[in-house]
Every structure is written in C-alpha cells, then in structure tokens.
Amino acid sequence: MQIERVPLPGIGVGYTLHTGEGQVIGVVCHRGGRRDVVVYAPGDPDTVERSVTLSATEAQEVAELLHPVATIDHVTHLERHREAISVVELPVTAASPYDGRTLAEAVARVHGVSVVAVVRDGRTITAPGLGHVLAHGDVLIVAGGQQSIEALSRALIHTDP
C-alpha cells in the first residue's frame, strides 16, 4: 500500500492511501485533533465520494479497531481460566544466551507462552515482532501457562541454548 503525506497549510496534514485493489482513501488530520476520513471516486483522485468526520477520541477508537495489537477478543476467554494464565516479567540478563539474539530464537522451543511487550530503558514496546533483537536489561512481559513461563525463564538464563 502506498501512503502519501501532504502538508495542508492552515489545516494540518493530509494522507492519501492507495489500496491494492485501486481504491483511494484519505485522512485529513486537523490541528485541533479532528480527523476527516474521505473516500475518493474511482478513477478520480480529486473527487470526494464520501466523508466521515471523527473527533480525536473517535479517531483513536477507530484506529484501535483497525490496528491488530488493539484486538483483544481473547481476553474474555482468558479471564474465565485465569488460574491457568499468568502474566509475568522475565529479565534478559547479561549472562543470557539470548542477549543480542532475536525473540524468535528465544521462544522457538517454548509453546503456550506469548511475549506481549518488552520494556527497554523505561520504554514499553508492545507486541514485539519475532525479529525483535533482545538486549541485556530488557524485561519481557510474558503471558501463558505456568509451565511454559518457567520453560522460557530457564531458556533465558541457560548458558547453552
């Protein structure tokens, strides 16, 4: 998908998105926080076919719906089985064999556990990808069953991965 960013003097910034199917959608971000979502007429990128105006709060809520990290339908299911699910912090120590290696390498042999965030230097990285490179001092926020969490904890401190 191609996204174009255009400054709109006195208004804010406009973004135009060209989908793989050839549709053209625009988002106008006003300085005051309002967002206008526009759909351009097929074949005519200058003609607005439809538009929707969203407040800053509404735009945030729609963004959370569209972004896969915000989709948390599974939480209701997990709450019913909360005895089986834990959320813990696991540090990446200087002695960890995964210091400087990817998250994929660290979790490759552990099933039933999800790394939902990494805290690095006081900054939270939510939903880190499997290509995320771990570093000494990172703290993994992990959700899963107790045995799976313990297996990942052992892997992070074991000297021979």
Mean pLDDT by 10 residues, the chain (161 residues): 82 88 89 90 87 87 63 42 75 88 92 91 90 92 88 78 44
If you ran DSSP here, which 8-state letter would residue 132 be given? P
Model pLDDT, residue 61: 78
H or E, element range at 74: helix 74-80
Model pLDDT, residue 67: 60
Rounded CA-CA distance 101/85 in Å is: 27
For the chain, what's the residue count?
161
Model pLDDT, residue 71: 32
Residue 31 vs residues 59, 70, 76, 145: alpha-carbon distances, Å: 14, 25, 37, 46
**Beta strands in 9-122, from DSSP E residues, in sequence order:** 12-18, 24-30, 35-41, 44-54, 86-91, 113-120
Model pLDDT, residue 74: 38
pTM for the complete prediction? 0.49
- Reading the block at residue 144, the tokens are 């899963």
Rounded CA-CA distance 145/86 in Å is: 6
Model pLDDT, residue 83: 56
Model pLDDT, residue 80: 52
Model pLDDT, residue 135: 93
Model pLDDT, residue 161: 44
Model pLDDT, residue 5: 85
Longest CA–CA separation in the chain, Å? 62
